[in-house]
Structure 1
């Protein structure tokens, strides 16, 4: 039953093979990408983590980054704005809209006050300094 509910598959392949470009079905967007489709590279140097995340086609105002201890959450919201005119109609639209997010855990807590984010050409670059551990031990008073 689940196979009947998904788009694409056998019939799409059949029509693509028989008459490519002839069969154009009027769809409005495919499903949202999986969270794993936000591709990330995580690098570590002595005092920080450098993260590169591919989030193409999303304005920087619609990208949200949250850091909670050592957990980083990336969230992107894609908005689809439809515009139509009398002399044209949409035959197929494969661009999706909605929100997708991805969270991952790093080995050490992040110093949120020093964290930086930059978005350029569809790539989000995060510089996340490691939180320095308290040096020395603290003596507890025994009651």
Structure 2
């Protein structure tokens, strides 16, 4: 029953984080561009549905878009710049909060698209995707005469 969900960036992320080597390089690596690690996700699968929980702190609900097409759930959104980033006195010594467009995609096959439900509460997006009751069989055994 387990659905294999691959994170294509996991290999590179682990390599870059292995010795914290990037922390010793100049600020070229501190580009403030969002990456998929910003949208941390938990996915639970039962016999009846998939349940996806996505951390999306500081997002307005109106700035979140959810789409399901061709067995792919896409969650995207955008955050505007933070007003306190403009520090005219030079007092800002560190800034890790990012703004911009964020997106994650998840392969979740055989979903009843008419009954997908989503809620957003306390910075967590919850999407429940009910599975199709009658799965379409992609293969067919053919007897040889």
Count of residue correspondences:
110
1:15-26 mapped onto 2 (5 Å cutoff): none
Q: TM-score, structure 1 length as denominator?
A: 0.64
Larger Rg: 1
Whether the 8 Å CA contact 2:64–2:77 is kept in 1: the answer is yes
Distance in 1 (alpha carbons) for counterparts of 2:58 and 2:90: 20
Whether the 8 Å CA contact 1:116–1:128 is kept in 2: the answer is yes
Question: Counterpart of 2:18?
Answer: none
Question: Counterpart of 1:37?
Answer: 38
Once superposed, which parts of structure 1, at least 4 consecutive aligned residues long, lie more than 3 Å away? 88-91
Distance in 2 (alpha carbons) for counterparts of 1:65 and 1:90: 39
Distance in 2 (alpha carbons) for counterparts of 1:40 and 1:134: 26
Change (3 A) 1:90 1:60: farther
**Which stretches in structure 1 are left out of the alignment for 5+ residues?**
9-29, 137-143
From 73, 98, 101, the equivalent of 2:100 is 98
Distance in 1 (alpha carbons) for counterparts of 2:32 and 2:44: 31
Question: Counterpart of 1:70?
Answer: 71
CA drift of 1:40 comes to 0.8
Distance in 2 (alpha carbons) for counterparts of 1:89 and 1:100: 30
Question: Counterpart of 1:120?
Answer: 121
Change (3 A) 1:78 1:54: same
Whether the 8 Å CA contact 1:65–1:72 is kept in 2: the answer is yes
RMSD: 2.9
Question: Counterpart of 2:111?
Answer: 110
